[in-house]
Chain A
Amino acid sequence: SNPPVAPEISSSVALDFVLIGRTSAFLLLHQARAERFFRSDHTNNWAVLVCTSRFWFNYRHVANTLSVYRSVKRLGIPDSHIVLMLADDMACNHRNPKPATVFSHKNMELNVYGDDVEVDYRGYEVTVENFLRVLTGRLPPSTPRSKRLLSDDHSNILIYLTGHGGNGFLKFQDSEEISNVELADAFEQMWQKRRYNELLFIIDTCQGASMYERFYSPNLMALASSQVGEDSLSHQPDLAIGVHLMDRYTFYLLEFLEDIHPASQANMNDLFKVCPKSQCVSTPGHRTDLFQRDPGSVLITDFFGSVRKVEITMETINLTPHTETALAYVDQLPVAQIIHQKPKQKDWHPPDGFILGLWTLILLVFFRTYGIKHLKHIF
């Protein structure tokens, strides 16, 4: 099927009187300022990091995702711009001999769980449906901001997926799968709505290259840890914890990212060289044909970090100090208007003494009817 073409809108300017030519002369004072913007087109960065497997023996997938999360936070992307989806809880798992930690290096050298992890989708919330909803933006209105991908047309997005995969699919939670066709369609819908400026897709699963085969939207760059027909292998087990801690590709990716700092000039060509076949056993692959810029000119921090563009404010407005009328206490709004509270429902109580009188009446009637001799049974 042909990808939908963005519609072209041509505009014609009509004035009430005859239009002759266009003579617009603007000062080129803005030229220098504009120069700085054009190394790249983005103004903000987002990251969607997904771990799709559960169970204790898939510890390494959670550690993979958390190590990318850690790098991305260290390089400047704030939590409000990261959507972290972890399918299972390893740090507080009953089988974790070191609770509240997730290690990436054996001998417990590096705890990637840290002190301020903010997981947005956890446990059974990590499903194919939720993942596609986050990407396309079709979330129910009650979804909080932290669970949404609020990117715009100048956002660079990093998407990292890890888990168990096969030729053309990725397994979620051991019960469902997402296919490469769906993923490509989701990215196309993001492009139609201009929800990204450029997108970097990294996947660390077996046969990961099959997941980016079907992409057809512009401005996508993809990396995978293994080609079709190859398995991605795990790195090293820790004998104290008892499971493999990381996958090879992400382990060497983490080592590479630890050397990057926010002002670093390393570019994508360096990222493509991470984990050659000698270290990874599988052959990492990448795809750049849909990407418009040359990968050599794309900085690592364009996706993994959040380097803001700033401009000095040259113009100010002269305002005369305003003679303030000090707000007297009595002018302030009553508390009930500031804090919107529903008026408390006052329950209706019968007037005082009413119940006492009622019971006295009942007793009197009883004794009148049945005789006073019953009184001794009560008192």
Chain B
Amino acid sequence: LSIRPVLSDPEKQRGRSAAVAIAALVIAAGIPLWWKTTETYRAWLPAARISELEALQLELRVEVEVVFARGTLSPEQQKKVPASRITYESCCKSKSLCLVEADHALHTLTETSCGSVVIYIIPEASALLPQDMRVYVGRSRTALLRSQVASVVGAGLPEVLAALDPQMEQVLQTMSFNHQDVTAALTDRLRPGLSTRDSLADSMRAFKSSPGYEITFSLLNPDPKHHQLHWDVEAALDAYIYPLLHKMAPVANFSVDSQILYYAVLGVNPRYDASASAYTLSADSLAHVINPVEARLGSNAASSNPVLNFLLYVPDSLHSPLIIRNDQKQEVASNAFHSPRWGGIMVYNVDGAYGNDTQFPVDIAIDMSRVMGVFLSQLRLMLGFQQTGAPPGFVLEAAGREGVAEWELDRLLWSRSVENVATASASITSLAQLLDQIANIVINDNIAQQVASAVTALQAAVAELEAGNLALALEHSREAISASERAFFDPSLLHLLYFPDDQKFAIYIPLFLPMCVPILLSLLKIFREVQQHRAEKRAKRD
């Protein structure tokens, strides 16, 4: 005797429609809802433009203006060249000053924009340049080139320029950029083996492009009982260092501070050399000097910018004078050394300032111009102004007081722009690849916006480089790199912890299986009943 309840037909019908309605609701509303609520939010990224960046071709264009002085062209050639008369005459008292004055005067005649070069062609027999000097590169963007082009046959303008080409190319490679510079700027993006050892050493020495740098000047006084040191660092910075940093303002922001450390000793013991009657530090022991000192230098903890340290060490009276010897055991004129990407240390001897029987502590004023001369040259190296070897016959005017010549700054801007463009495009493409590969990462709107603005700025930078506007190109490349760094290093881009598939099943099955089993079974039951009903109907008809 079965105790199953007997359902009447309308009840059965209601039951069936209820089961179907629930199943329909689950499938039509539940599954899409679950899908939508468990998907990660991914804002749209401009994937097409990003994939264009992978095959980026850079073209760098330098604007060159060539000015022919009187006597360099024959009269027929002169007619062909579009002329504008600029007359420069001067009487100078001494030969050596002549060149500098001439350069200065010529610089005021023509307006040069950032990245462009003006070459003045002067006649072969001119007395302005000494005999063995072929090219003189001044402090601004001008170069004086000694050449004889009147003898070129077939006197059209293109032929004249073609004849001058090799020399002008040499000038431009010195003043703007050459193959080595560009590959050095791209070292970490290129296959190894493409860059020379020199350029690799240069790229290791200079800091990578960064939005800002912190510079710290420290005075180390290990012997305050004997030496009371006074250094007027503020005035010295104002006079010598800030002009350079102001010129570098389009490249990066700088923050400068200074400190005095007492009882700070070098980590190595200098050896006494009786022949020089001085204590000496050999070149190999210099590598171990920095680490013990670095532990005592503070750092400005407010930003993540790279730090440059410049230390002035005044040896204690027992170990004075202290001189640095290079590999060939010779004295070094500057008495200073530097470490790539870290900074420089200079040893300043004060033993000459007092005799044996003075009353200690002795007041000593440090000659800041000498000190800053050394620090300025080290700073130039750290910031990326390479020690360019001039080709034979070239004379490069030393930068002097301003710290850096304008064409040197242009060189740096060229390599920085290229480096920024390379780094930014590499960041964007690798970020896009990463986000593609890992489906679990949430892409917020602000990241998408940063990526879009980085791509726009990159394309603008490349366009400006092609057009030859160096200042605008640098600005755009800085924008691009800061936007791309912010997008890449956004804290929200940490992908949710790795979920292997079996873990996903383990999470969902206890939730959904108890719900799905009754639904499926009731659907099956309904399906079987419908089939049975249909079979009965067919049997009845037959």
Mark A residues whose CB is within 8 Å of B: 1, 4, 6-27, 29-31, 33-35, 37-38, 41, 43-44, 76-80, 128-129, 132-133, 136-140, 144-146, 148, 150, 152-154, 176, 179, 181-182, 185, 189, 192-194, 262-263, 306-322, 324, 327
- Distance of A194 Cα from B419 Cα, bound (Å): 13
Complex: chain B residue closest to A189, CB-CB:
B434
- Distance of A309 Cα from B168 Cα, bound (Å): 38
Query: In chain B between 178 and 227, which residues have their CB closer than 8 angstroms to a CB of chain A?
Result: 178-180, 182, 186, 188-191, 197-198, 200-201, 204-205, 208
Mark B residues whose CB is within 8 Å of A: 53-64, 161-162, 165-166, 168-170, 172-173, 177-180, 182, 186, 188-191, 197-198, 200-201, 204-205, 208, 232, 234-236, 239-240, 283, 286-291, 294-295, 299, 301, 303-304, 306, 324, 326, 332-334, 336-342, 344, 346, 367-370, 372-374, 376-378, 387-392, 398-401, 403, 418, 422, 425-427, 429-430, 433-434, 437-438, 488-491, 493-495, 497-498
Which of A22, A307, A312 is in CB contact (< 8 Å) with B288? A307
Given contacts A17-B168, A144-B301, A322-B239, contact A307 B287 (CB under 8 A): yes
Given contacts A317-B398, A318-B373, A322-B369, contact A6 B426 (CB under 8 A): yes
| A-B interface, 5 closest residue pairs, ranked by CB to CB distance from nearest | A27-B389, A322-B239, A76-B291, A192-B430, A34-B201
Query: Which residues of the partner chain B approach A33 to less than 8 Å between Cβ atoms?
Result: 201
Which of B53, B301, B369, B392 is in CB contact (< 8 Å) with A321? B369
A-B contact pairs, 16 of them (CB 8 A): A7-B53, A7-B56, A9-B58, A15-B61, A25-B392, A26-B388, A80-B299, A154-B341, A182-B498, A192-B426, A262-B288, A307-B287, A309-B204, A309-B339, A310-B287, A319-B370
Given contacts A29-B389, A78-B291, A317-B373, contact A8 B64 (CB under 8 A): no
Which of B180, B340, B378, B494 is in CB contact (< 8 Å) with A133? B494
The reply to whether A314 and B334 contact each other, CB–CB distance below 8 Å, is yes
Complex: chain A residue closest to B185, CB-CB:
A11
Complex: chain A residue closest to B197, CB-CB:
A34
9 more CB-based (< 8 A) A-B contacts, given A78-B291, A192-B430: A8-B189, A13-B177, A14-B59, A15-B172, A16-B63, A30-B201, A313-B334, A314-B333, A317-B400
Query: Which residues of the partner chain A approach B161 to less than 8 Å between Cβ atoms?
Result: 17-18
The reply to whether B200 and A138 contact each other, CB–CB distance below 8 Å, is no
Query: Which residues of the partner chain B approach A26 to less than 8 Å between Cβ atoms?
Result: 180, 198, 388-389, 391
Query: Which residues of the partner chain B approach A152 to less than 8 Å between Cβ atoms?
Result: 208, 306, 341
The reply to whether B295 and A153 contact each other, CB–CB distance below 8 Å, is no
Query: Which residues of the partner chain A approach B488 to less than 8 Å between Cβ atoms?
Result: 193
Closest chain-A Cβ to B39's Cβ sits at a distance in Å of: 21
Given contacts A145-B301, A309-B339, A322-B239, contact A20 B165 (CB under 8 A): yes
Which of A10, A17, A41, A319 is in CB contact (< 8 Å) with B373? A319
The reply to whether A13 and B179 contact each other, CB–CB distance below 8 Å, is yes
Query: Which residues of the partner chain B approach A321 to less than 8 Å between Cβ atoms?
Result: 367-369
Query: Which residues of the partner chain B approach A30 to less than 8 Å between Cβ atoms?
Result: 198, 201, 387, 389
Query: Which residues of the partner chain A approach B433 to less than 8 Å between Cβ atoms?
Result: 4
Given contacts A9-B422, A30-B201, A137-B489, contact A308 B208 (CB under 8 A): no
